[in-house]
Amino acid sequence: MTTFLLKLTLCWGFFALLYALLLRYETFFRANRAYLLGTAVLGILLAALPGEQMPVPLVNVSVIALPEFTVGIQQVEAATSSWQDIDFLWVAYWAGFALMAARVLWGLLKIVQMVISGQSEKLEDGCLLVQTAEAKVPFSFFKWVFVPIGSTDFSPSGKEAFTPLLTSHGAVNGTTPDGLKSVLPTELMLAHERAHAHGWHSADVLFAEALCIAFWFHPLAHWYRRELRAVHEYLADAEASRLADRKQYGLLLLGQSQSGMPIAFANHFFQSPLKQRLIMLTKKASAPVRAIKFGLVAPLAILFAILFRQAPVIAQVVDETHFKFVREMESKGWMSTDTVVTFDPNTYEETVQLLRKSTAPELDENGKLVYQYAEIQPQFPGGQEGLNKFLTDELRYPEAARKAGAEGIATVRFVVNDDGTISKARAVTSNGFNMREDMLEESERVVLSMPKWIPAKHKGKAVSCIMNFPLNFRLVSKPAEEVSFPDAAGKTTLLQPIFPGDLSKFLSENIKYPETARVAKAEGKVFVAFLVNEDGSLSDFKQVNSNEVHPDLVAEAIRVAKAMPRWKPGVKDGKIVATQYTLPIKFKLKSDPLKELFDVDVQPEFPGGLQELYNFLGKEVKYPEAARKAGAQGMEVITFIVEADGSLSTFEAVKVGRQDCSDEVIRAVKLSPNWKPARKDGKAVRVKYTLPFTFKLDK
């Protein structure tokens, strides 16, 4: 909604600026009316049409991979945050909406009441003249013209003249000082209101009122209403002033400008702004040549609409680091280095060799190039925030997997085609998890259901590109009464307990990193389970991690959890219940910024050089027995960080052929001694290292 309003403000603001600078003071009133109505609608359409959001970079790494999305926790967080934050904004909006709608409804009912209770008379042009005591000044609504009761001069049968205004100016049923024939003031007023009726100005007014109801908080909606009303008055004034001298008509406006309070959305003879009406009344008609301004405004508006719709492509973010990496890769002929371990089943010998591998774009079945690396990465419309919202709304934890307590990370590999569509999604397991088939199928389903992306670009041209996206399926806690997930209809039986305020802010302000853990460089995530009682108090704190975490980190996490204030308790089937809750707290030491391999002066190096690395891997890597018996071959790609002190950390399999093969490569690399760290400007720095590894059986 925020993005829509920002775009709407930009569109309406641009159109209003054009109108104020070029058209407002011209006498092409009908054209100005069309411009105001057209741009009001066009602004809404441009803001509402899909694919208009300004993108933001998804991730700043050289490998085209998306940040991990966790299924379960983010969906529960979205539900609680909407409860806490969004409701009050919508309450305020609907309150304003109701007040504005009630105002218009009251006016409509008032008009209908006047028609029923007033004295009506059909005019020859089809208008209905209604005389009523409730009308203080003449006004019209569609073909109904309302005048004060007893004003017989408005009726075709009226005989008396209402002329006090013009008496002092010598223009009563005679001639004006300029010798022109005088016209009854009531005739002028009636002609004015008939001009409103025949011009269907009330339809414009209702449209403007609808804008002000829907966007009651937006000043430009009220600007459109004000400008439309002004143009209506200019049109009606121009029509009525043809019957008499313009000076006489202007005096009539001046004399009756202080009449009673009118109904808000009817067309009134004495409608403000009076000064501007007099200026436009006496203004010389714009020369036809000045209509060229519309010839200038039209292409400007069309150009703005085109540029606005293309904004995501124009503003597509260029990751300079990634751009440099791709250019360097392309300059080397798209070649990369691969380490291959070969196992001979006859001699049971393993050999390690260095191979060069091409990462060049390949032709798909339709003859189009599919890039592994492109200068500008594909982007989801709306950036990372939009992607997370889409996944939160669309991704579902398979019911059978949830009941079984199954968790894991599925890496989905897919192609973003040059038209932005998604194809060839394939999900595989990673990081040692044995993923269930229903979790993999759900991962592929949600990726294929994504809307069109902003495609990758290479050398200024849209191209197809391969993406890798990790989806982390993690339960908030083990299956029990404490967790409630949406069913197929989107309904829940349990409303989660809610922290009173900003939980992230509370944790960041109160958690202290234990000194012993800091010295030991201990990191990790602690899952603290506790009971939110019916009165909101907390009890039964315990750690539920299955992995080992430094004991001082666990103690600190539990201490902070115990210090939390009372929560808003959970509700099940309309009743407040005690609810089990699991809170993940991540401890991570601040580290130096991670450098890319091509952004350092000296590359990290295994002790003794590259050949010693091959010798080491040849001794340590063992062909997994199950893979050997199955005849499995293929490449595994792992990454790890070479720290500033030469130690290795953060091992990850980024391409998994077989899980046991990836695990074997990681196991072997973990045994390596400290490396010589990378250096930048003479200083040791952290760097991410990618190691491809191919398992191959001799025939």
Query: What is the rounded end-to-end Cα distance, in angstroms, of the chain?
Result: 62
Question: Is the pLDDT at 257 greater than 80, yes or no?
Answer: no
Report CA dihedral (273, 275, 280, 284) to the nearest 10 degrees.
180
Distance between CA atoms of residues 323 and 335, nearest Å: 17
Out of 271-275, 333-337, 470-474, pick the least confident: 271-275
Distance between CA atoms of residues 202 and 140, nearest Å: 8
CA atoms within 13 A on the CB side of 610: 8
108 sits in which H/E element = helix 87-117
- Max CA separation in the chain (angstroms): 127
Looking at residues 567-573, what average pLDDT do you find?
A: 82
Distance between CA atoms of residues 414 and 66, nearest Å: 11
Between the alpha carbon of residue 582 and those of residues 27, 532, 576, the distances in Å are: 69, 10, 18
CA atoms within 13 A on the CB side of 443: 31
Candidates 203, 196, 199, 189; CA nearest to 147 is 189
Between the alpha carbon of residue 530 and those of residues 334, 534, 579, 645, the distances in Å are: 53, 13, 9, 39
Structure tokens, 293 = 């301004």
| Average model confidence (pLDDT) across the chain | 75
pLDDT bucket at 363, cuts 50 / 70 / 90: confident
Query: Which residue type is seen at 282?
Result: T
Question: Is the pLDDT at 74 greater than 90, yes or no?
Answer: no
Distance between CA atoms of residues 551 and 526, nearest Å: 10
Distance between CA atoms of residues 16 and 40, nearest Å: 9
pLDDT digits (tens, 9 = 90+) for 636-666: 888 888 988 899 988 888 777 788 888 898 9
**What's the pTM value of the predicted model, to 2 decimals?**
0.44
Distance between CA atoms of residues 197 and 269, nearest Å: 12
The more confident residue out of 166 and 698 is 698
Distance between CA atoms of residues 471 and 473, nearest Å: 6
Structure tokens, 74 = 């983010």
193 sits in which H/E element = helix 185-198
Looking at residues 614-640, what average pLDDT do you find?
A: 85
Considering the chain, what percentage of its residues have pLDDT values greater than 70? 72
Out of 61-65, 577-581, 608-612, pick the least confident: 61-65
pLDDT digits (tens, 9 = 90+) for 184-219: 677 777 888 888 888 899 999 999 999 999 999 999
Structure tokens, 354 = 């260095």
CA atoms within 13 A on the CB side of 72: 26
Query: Residue 449: CB partners within 8 Å, gap ≥ 6?
Result: 394
Q: What is the pLDDT of residue 268?
A: 52
Domain 395-473: top CATH class: alpha beta
Burial class (CB in 10 A: 0-12, 13-18, 19+), 508: exposed
Q: Could you tell me the strand order of the sheet in which 538-543 lies?
A: 538-543, 524-532, 579-587
Structure tokens, 430 = 């990673």
pLDDT digits (tens, 9 = 90+) for 420-438: 999 988 887 754 456 788 8
pLDDT bucket at 262, cuts 50 / 70 / 90: low
Candidates 683, 641, 632; CA nearest to 660 is 632
Pairing of strands 144-148, 139-141: antiparallel
Structure tokens, 298 = 């039209």
Distance between CA atoms of residues 430 and 575, nearest Å: 41
Distance between CA atoms of residues 54 and 34, nearest Å: 30
Burial class (CB in 10 A: 0-12, 13-18, 19+), 208: buried
| DSSP code string of 290-305 | GGHHHHHHHHHHHHHH
Between the alpha carbon of residue 615 and those of residues 104, 356, 396, 559, the distances in Å are: 84, 18, 47, 49
**For helices 29-48 and 292-309, angle between their N-to-C axes, nearest 10 degrees:** 0
Distance between CA atoms of residues 695 and 634, nearest Å: 5
Distance between CA atoms of residues 513 and 516, nearest Å: 9
Burial class (CB in 10 A: 0-12, 13-18, 19+), 284: exposed
Query: Residue 500: CB partners within 8 Å, gap ≥ 6?
Result: 565, 566, 567, 568
Candidates 242, 146, 140; CA nearest to 200 is 140
Q: What is the pLDDT of residue 219?
A: 92
- DSSP three-state, residue 521: coil
Q: What is the pLDDT of residue 109?
A: 92
Within 405-527, residue ranges assigned H as helices are: 437-448, 503-510, 515-519
Question: Is the pLDDT at 356 greater than 50, yes or no?
Answer: yes
Q: What is the pLDDT of residue 50?
A: 56
Highest mean pLDDT among 335-349, 452-466, 532-546: 452-466
Give Cα 134 to chain centroid, integer Å.
Answer: 49
Structure tokens, 573 = 């089937």
Placement of tokens 């009563």 in the chain:
172
Q: What is the pLDDT of residue 433?
A: 55
Q: What is the pLDDT of residue 341?
A: 52
pLDDT digits (tens, 9 = 90+) for 530-569: 999 988 899 999 887 646 788 898 899 899 999 999 998 8
Question: Is the pLDDT at 439 greater than 80, yes or no?
Answer: yes
**Cis bond before residue 177 (omega within 30° of 0):** no
Distance between CA atoms of residues 699 and 689, nearest Å: 32
Burial class (CB in 10 A: 0-12, 13-18, 19+), 473: buried
Extents of the domains making up the chain: 1-57+290-319, 87-286, 320-360+589-699, 395-473, 494-587
Output DSSP code: residue 242. G
Q: What is the pLDDT of residue 357?
A: 64
Q: What is the pLDDT of residue 416?
A: 92
| DSSP code string of 458-486 | ETTEEEEEEEEEEEEE--SSSSSTT----
Structure tokens, 91 = 């309450």
Candidates 232, 224, 223, 213; CA nearest to 271 is 232
Q: Which CATH number fits domain 494-587: 3.90.1170.10, 3.30.2420.10, 3.30.1050.10, 2.60.120.200?
A: 3.30.2420.10
Q: Do the domains 494-587 and 395-473 match in fold?
A: yes
Q: Could you tell me the strand order of the sheet in which 687-697 lies?
A: 349-358, 335-344, 687-697, 634-642, 648-655
Question: Is the pLDDT at 156 greater than 60, yes or no?
Answer: no
CATH topology of domain 320-360+589-699: TolA/TonB C-terminal domain (3.30.2420)
Q: What is the pLDDT of residue 469?
A: 81
Bridge partners of 595, per DSSP, are 687
